Amino acid sequence: MSEQHQDERTRIREAMDRLLSGQAVASNGSLTVVALAAEADVHRMAIYKRHADLKNEFEERVRTETLQVPETEKRLRETITKLKKTIKNKNTEIEQLKEQVTRLALASAVLTQKGEVSIDPGPTPDNVFPLHPPNG
């Protein structure tokens, strides 16, 4: 490990301790990866890419030491809840559309069958010639 890499890890661990003890110096003190990056003076993408293990450690410490759910997990849970509601609504809509298709198919069949039934139209005017000769 390079010296710079090790220095970043040390700063991140110290920043974790400050945030979890409520003694933030360089951030707003929230228990997020963004605040951790600001507190450690490290770009947050460095935490996500080079120090993912420390990010996971931080989130686990937030969960166990403060009995809070990390912000990312809260957002994911909210998104899951919204998606489940959307799925439920879409399933309901699909069922309604299936029922409507069935009703329309039945109505079409009834209308088609009515058209096939021979109904005496009454007397034909002199100027009207049938396209098909009457079935007799």
pLDDT tens sequence across 25-55: 999 998 999 999 999 999 999 999 999 999 9
Give the Cα separation of 5 and 25 in Å (integer): 22
Compute and round to an integer the Cα radius of gyration of the chain: 36
Which among 7, 64, 66, 62 is positioned nearest to 40, based on CA atoms?
A: 7
Higher pLDDT, 10 or 111: 10
- What's the pLDDT at 121? 62
